[in-house]
Structure 1
Amino acid sequence: MPKALQPHPDRALPAGAAREVARRIHASTKDLPLLCLHGHVDIGLFATDVPFGNPAELLVVPDHYVTRMLVSQGVSPDKLGLPRRDGKQTAQEGSAQPREIWREFCANWHLFLGTPSRYWLEHEFAEVLGLTVHPSAETADELYDQISERIAKPDFRPRALLDRFNIELISTTDAATDDLAQHAKLAADLPGRVVPTFRPDAVAHVDRDGWPALITQLGALADVDTSTYDGFLQAIRQRRQAFIAAGARATDHGHLSAAAVPLTDAEAQRIYAGALKGDVTPGDAEAFAGHMLYQSAVMSAEDGLVMQLHPGVLRDHDPAIFATYGPDQGHDIPVATEFTRSLRPVLERFGHVEGFRLVLFTVDETVYSRELAPLAGVYPAVRLGAPWWFLDSPDGMRRFRELVTETAGFYNMSGFVDDTRAYLSIPARHDLARRIDAGYLADLVVQHRLDEDDALQVAKALAYDLARDTYLT
């Protein structure tokens, strides 16, 4: 007999005396609209609004939380349908192969026990897709057919799900060289519902493959001569204005280091000119990237785009995976990160400037109470982003609250904004965050450190109000 899929109504809520209070707090936030302002869902989903292809394409192949766990247990990326850079056939191609990918996933469902992926997927399966049994080798085909039937219906198109998920606003992440044509289409069809986020990482890192070609493309889009450093800065400003016109609320920066240290104009010009010729040292590239973080702060102070920074991840740790399958395949590993000295040049200039906002994310828990909370607790410009990537988990979110609240308080947070490419997981991620916050606040109530009326107000702020205040005011 297959195991029934019935997520418990009290999942992720605390045990003991705090549970009843947590239930009431969660009930007050569970139906609030979702503000998804640090997202990575493919803009093409909304622009084309075509039906999702198949269960494997929807739930396995693009979800790096899922694929990295399976790869860690020896499952070949080819067997999971990850597209190869060379375009050679993979397991995803052909009429029968998506089912094989799905069978592989279901047979290894036990690997996700104890992980946030398990929580999100159970929520997706039960509450979004209406499934009633757990994945397994025995139920794989049955579930595949049920999901295929469900996602073929008109009410499961990407745009329809915006309403079903109660998403008030969602952002995508877009390169400085994106022409925003798909956003222009959406602005006509869904005004103010899907907005871009400006991510200039590719043009800020002068040692990346193909950088000179990107700079040419940047210049063409901005109609600016980018053969000089001054022209480069002008082109970036032009692109930021194009993003703002398309509805952008923020920038997004995923540098390895948080260092935002300005160079002299002469040094910046020297490095830029050398990079255009393919002559750049690792040290110069690192310095220029830090300089461009500082310049991004200068521009945000000018144009009002919220600056989001999430450093501390060594991208593409496995060179063989990168060479075969390209970037963003789950082989990105956190490293220790320093914020206090790294951000001092930005904060001493802009930390008290009205209209400048810097949202800090990290995957290094050791800096929560030592660096991030004190920075947010003194500089009006700084907000703390929600626990991110490896830490958007039940225990990770709880530890975050415990380590930052006493110094930063609740109102120096950005509120919960999901960070995902997996569209169907968005309601699950917000629900989990709201449950963890309900539990944390309930503990304070039963300890008589917070009264319940205040807890209800804070819960609403964390779930909705603070994200609106951070990004939309």
Structure 2
Amino acid sequence: MALNPDRLLPVEASLRPIARRLFAEVETLPIVSPHGHTEPSWYAENPRFPDPAALFVVPDHYIFRMLYSQGVPLEALGVPRADGGPVERDGRRIWRLFAEHYRLFRGTPSRLWFEHSLQTVFGIEERLSPQSADRIYDEIAAALETDALRPRALYDRFNIEAIATTDSALDDLAHHDAVRASGWHGRILPTYRPDAVVDPDRPGFAEALRRFLALAGEAETWSGYLDAHRTRRAYFKARGATATDHGHPSARTADLAPAECELLFSKVLAGTGSAAENELFRAQMLTEMARMSLEDGLVMQIHAGSSRNHNQALFERFGFDKGADIPQRTDYVGALRPMLNVVGNEPGLTIILFTLDETVYARELAPLAGHYPALRLGPPWWFFDSPDGMMRFREAVTETTGFYNTVGFNDDTRAFLSIPARHDVARRVDCAFLAKLVGEGRLEEDEAREVAVDLTYRLAKDAYRL
């Protein structure tokens, strides 16, 4: 089961040597991870990961959603229940269940990431199966007892230069403060995620909104609310944040008059907004966040187009982020126009767009980012950060937006050990795409080498102001 050194590189005999040479230029470059969901406590407290299941299965919605699709209850996989109900606590039993169903991951990026981690981190080349499950579990568990597998040591081993977490606007960032106070050299950056106090449809929104205003010492008014965001953004920025992140169901934006905003705010605070008014409030807040980014320099990320928590019964038992988020059709051309009319022509502003609707790459996103100075395209996200998804992205957008209106790669993961695996996949796919351009006479190889380095390293640093 040893990893094929030419995995994901072109099979064509004329292109593979070109791709190999390009990949050799980027294979060992540092990892810049400007958007992800690893836990800041890992870097602050530097704990040992408890067991193989807690490392690979329990936190990874790519893995447990596949198992759930085949009838495996999340309780049996140790996924914590929001309602406090019982779940499996025995890591070995969870691991055996994973091994029994490992065939489900054939052909998926999850298998690529998992086997990359097994081999490069643990030196395990044996394929996971019911027969090998206990043996592999024991090897991983023994390694996890060593200091070499603690988060800070892995940060160095993975050659990570900077990594951003994603943090609620209500977070006190105590773990980030602890990292900074410790004197450790790792660069761990918070990211301002205000969804809990921007989306009136979220459970507990009114309570969260009042806590937010109290935290910033602001009145329950529209102007007080905007000032609270400015205060909290400054708090994040003082702790190293360079970006914000907005996970809205749509990309709709608005530019309302102040009196309309005040009325809308009073309704969402009271919990009396209609579905249309709640959507309008979110739309207005994207424009307000863009204005604030123009003021304070924080890069703005918009992750739109997910129908979140689609499985209501699962959401009631387990809460958010449990693999039941589904892509939906998303409009960007009409939706973004109000915001772009306000800030789209500002070259000092960076707004990075992500989508779960691949049909809009060539039709909408590439033309938008290929025109507006404020816009950049984020890499394939979530369901599409896969070899085929990455290749489709490059083929769809490069003709219109080029390489330099994109922002390189970010891994967007909660699974720490998958970070180098995901970056390895992205680097290989980009080199395969560039090799094809060289083979077709559309790029010289020296240009392709420069682009490969830019896609791997420079673009992310520049776009996220790192």
Structure 1 residue 26 corresponds to structure 2 residue 19: no
For 1:297 and 1:220, the matched residues in 2 are separated by 23
For 1:267 and 1:57, the matched residues in 2 are separated by 48
SS of aligned partner of 1:252:
strand
Q: Which residue of 2 aligns with 1:275?
A: 268
Q: Contact 1:359/1:384 (CA < 8 Å) preserved in 2?
A: yes
Cα offset for 1:221? Answer: 2.2
> CA offsets, 1:171-227, max 9 Å, x none?
0000110011111111222356001000111111123221121122212321222x1
Q: Which residue of 1 aligns with 2:208?
A: 214
For 2:40 and 2:423, the matched residues in 1 are separated by 20
Structure 1 residue 47 corresponds to structure 2 residue 44: yes
For 2:202 and 2:116, the matched residues in 1 are separated by 39
> CA offsets, 1:432-452, max 9 Å, x none?
000001101011111111111
Cα offset for 1:460? Answer: 0.3
Q: Which residue of 2 aligns with 1:175?
A: 168
Structure 1 residue 457 corresponds to structure 2 residue 450: yes
Structure 1 residue 205 corresponds to structure 2 residue 202: no
Cα offset for 1:144? Answer: 0.7
For 1:86 and 1:407, the matched residues in 2 are separated by 48
Aligned mate of 1:62, from 52, 59, 63: 59
Cα offset for 1:62? Answer: 0.5
Describe how 1:340-359 pairs up with structure 2 within 5 A. Answer: 340-359=333-352
Aligned mate of 1:8, from 4, 20, 27: 4
For 1:208 and 1:6, the matched residues in 2 are separated by 45
Cα offset for 1:352? Answer: 2.0
Describe how 1:359-374 pairs up with structure 2 within 5 A. Answer: 359-374=352-367
Q: How many residues align?
A: 464
For 1:382 and 1:191, the matched residues in 2 are separated by 32
Aligned mate of 2:218, from 189, 200, 224: 224
Larger CA deviation: 329-338 vs 275-284: 275-284
Describe how 1:399-438 pairs up with structure 2 within 5 A. Answer: 399-438=392-431
Q: Contact 1:206/1:272 (CA < 8 Å) preserved in 2?
A: no
> CA offsets, 1:77-132, max 9 Å, x none?
1111111122122112xxxx211100010111110011110111110111112112
Structure 1 residue 296 corresponds to structure 2 residue 293: no
For 1:276 and 1:409, the matched residues in 2 are separated by 43
For 2:179 and 2:115, the matched residues in 1 are separated by 31
Q: Which residue of 1 aligns with 2:92?
A: 99
Q: Contact 2:189/2:239 (CA < 8 Å) preserved in 1?
A: yes
Q: Which residue of 2 aligns with 1:121?
A: 114
For residues 142 and 192 of structure 1, do their structure 2 counterparts lie closer, same or farther at Cα, with a shift above 3 Å needed? closer
Aligned mate of 2:147, from 135, 144, 154: 154
The residue type paired with residue 146 of structure 1 is E
Q: Contact 1:207/1:280 (CA < 8 Å) preserved in 2?
A: no
The residue type paired with residue 52 of structure 2 is P
The sequence identity of aligned pairs, in percent, is: 51
Larger CA deviation: 241-250 vs 37-46: 37-46
Q: Contact 1:175/1:200 (CA < 8 Å) preserved in 2?
A: yes
For 1:192 and 1:272, the matched residues in 2 are separated by 40
Cα offset for 1:468? Answer: 0.8
Runs of 4+ residues over 4 Å off in structure 1: none
The residue type paired with residue 368 of structure 2 is L
The residue type paired with residue 71 of structure 2 is G
The residue type paired with residue 375 of structure 1 is L
For 1:339 and 1:192, the matched residues in 2 are separated by 37
The residue type paired with residue 152 of structure 2 is R
Provide structure 2 residue ranges, at least 5 long, that are not aligned to the other structure: none
The residue type paired with residue 190 of structure 2 is P
Larger CA deviation: 265-274 vs 308-317: 265-274
For 2:201 and 2:393, the matched residues in 1 are separated by 35
Provide structure 1 residue ranges, at least 5 long, that are not aligned to the other structure: none
For 1:294 and 1:444, the matched residues in 2 are separated by 38
Larger CA deviation: 258-267 vs 421-430: 258-267
For residues 428 and 192 of structure 1, do their structure 2 counterparts lie closer, same or farther at Cα, with a shift above 3 Å needed? closer
SS of aligned partner of 2:464:
helix
The residue type paired with residue 60 of structure 2 is D
Q: Contact 2:155/2:186 (CA < 8 Å) preserved in 1?
A: no
Q: Which residue of 2 aligns with 1:258?
A: 251
SS of aligned partner of 1:84:
coil
Q: Contact 1:55/1:148 (CA < 8 Å) preserved in 2?
A: yes
Cα offset for 1:19? Answer: 0.5
Structure 1 residue 80 corresponds to structure 2 residue 73: no
Q: Which residue of 1 aligns with 2:300?
A: 307
Q: Contact 1:260/1:291 (CA < 8 Å) preserved in 2?
A: yes
For 1:351 and 1:146, the matched residues in 2 are separated by 53
For 2:201 and 2:126, the matched residues in 1 are separated by 49
The residue type paired with residue 362 of structure 1 is T
Q: Contact 2:161/2:186 (CA < 8 Å) preserved in 1?
A: no
SS of aligned partner of 1:458:
helix
Structure 1 residue 111 corresponds to structure 2 residue 79: no
Aligned mate of 1:380, from 348, 373, 379: 373
SS of aligned partner of 2:417:
helix
For 1:114 and 1:207, the matched residues in 2 are separated by 37
The residue type paired with residue 285 of structure 1 is N
Structure 1 residue 389 corresponds to structure 2 residue 385: no
Q: Contact 1:359/1:382 (CA < 8 Å) preserved in 2?
A: yes
Q: Contact 1:173/1:197 (CA < 8 Å) preserved in 2?
A: yes
Q: Contact 1:179/1:221 (CA < 8 Å) preserved in 2?
A: no
Q: Contact 1:199/1:251 (CA < 8 Å) preserved in 2?
A: yes
For residues 192 and 423 of structure 1, do their structure 2 counterparts lie closer, same or farther at Cα, with a shift above 3 Å needed? closer
Q: Contact 1:109/1:135 (CA < 8 Å) preserved in 2?
A: yes
What TM-score do you get using the length of structure 2 for normalisation?
0.98
Q: Contact 1:12/1:436 (CA < 8 Å) preserved in 2?
A: yes
